[in-house]
Structure 1
């Protein structure tokens, strides 16, 4: 993953943030996957932007974690190229700000060199989703109805031919891509909120 490109600023202009990059980066390789092998690091990346710098304190407040914990995980993510330190937009050199190196990531655990790392990433991903659901359920009574009524949770075991399975998977990928592309049209403060979308389809074994 490439670093974040900083635009040149004049002597009088405020520091600028880089343009948002629409293409997601696919994460492969054991070393980079290992850097993501902790649910807290995935949570950190979900609240970061590749255009709007944030401080350790801001991330810690959003996640309910200590600043020390967030700082440690940011350093690990930085080593793997997922985040980068950047000057504070207000020019305050005392503030340490961070940017995500990419607008979106796609994690390909199947590309791990060894099966143990692939298994670890599967477990981290499962824990990440389960904890996200638990946080939502704990807070749902206090959320506005427009952010709870549309919630969808469905699961079913289907009997399909291999051709039907392939066609269904392709249609689900297209649907997923349609809605993930909408994320790029929104910015914080425009009335949008983070919504978690999970799509799984795999051969059922009783």
Structure 2
């Protein structure tokens, strides 16, 4: 996945730090999930001023995360879009500096917040989804004895499977956007 044009591979702590801002990471996520939008549309969505969202979008553009949408619907509006589908970085490489460690920790924490929010939203709306979605939705955990290289291959294979299944399901009336989260952390003991 890291060699894909859909992936923005960040190697500079300043670049990662630029997106590791509470509003910027939300703006980028919204553009990735829902497509192009104006600063005003995003301001309304997130309860911010359009001046604030405009500033933060320009900062994201400065560091290569977003760009003006070349397919503007109207010459009077300035629509923004995400340049890449994913952002990735080397924990080892960025962990060499305090600002790199801080930015990558913020983004990992943000990923967890998004996962928790998605689960909580589903639980609140559970009755509106119907039996097939109630049965399919959920989480799982497992323990395995793996080497670091195997975990890397596991992420690559999972990503490939997701893209394959997405292509298979294209056009199906049952298709919904699904939030997927994959995590692997070494553990020296049972700590649940």
Output the TM-score relative to the length of structure 2.
0.70
CA contact (8 A) 2:14 2:100 kept: no
Residues 1:130 and 2:118 aligned together: no
Gaps of 5+ in 2: none
Residue from 190, 193, 198 that aligns with 2:182: 198
Q: Which structure's residues are more often helix, by fraction?
A: 2
Contact 1:48 1:54 in 2 (8 A): yes
C-alpha separation between the residues in 2 aligned to 1:58 and 1:179? 34
Q: Which runs of 4+ in 1 moved over 6 A?
A: none
1:42 aligns with 2:28: no
Distance (Å, rounded) in 2 between the aligned partners of 1:183 and 1:65: 35
Partner of 2:56, secondary structure, is helix
Residue aligning to 2:82: 100
Cα 1:183/1:40, change in 2 over 3 Å:
farther
d(CA) in 2 for partners of 1:87 and 1:73?
A: 19
1:32 maps to which residue? Answer: 15
Q: Is the 8 A contact 2:95 2:101 kept in 1?
A: no
- The residue number in structure 1 matching 2:136 is 150
Corresponding residue of 1:72: 55
- Aligned Cα RMSD in Å? 3.6
Give the 3-state SS of the residue equivalent to 1:199 in structure 2. Answer: coil
2 CA distance for matches of 1:204 and 1:152?
26
Deviation, structure 1 residue 45: 1.9
Structure 1 contact 39–125 (Cα < 8 Å) conserved: no
TM-score after normalising by structure 1: 0.66
Residue 71 of structure 2 is aligned to residue 85 of structure 1: no
Q: How many residues matched?
A: 179
Q: Deviations over 1:162-194 (max 9, x none)?
A: xx434642552243222453497469x993314
Q: Distance in 2 between matches of 1:182 and 1:58?
A: 32
Q: Residues 138-174 of structure 1: CA distance to partner in whole angstroms, max 9, x if unpaired?
A: 322215145454334344555x3xxx43464255224
2: CA distance between counterparts of 1:157 and 1:184? 27
Deviation of 1:47 (Å): 2.3
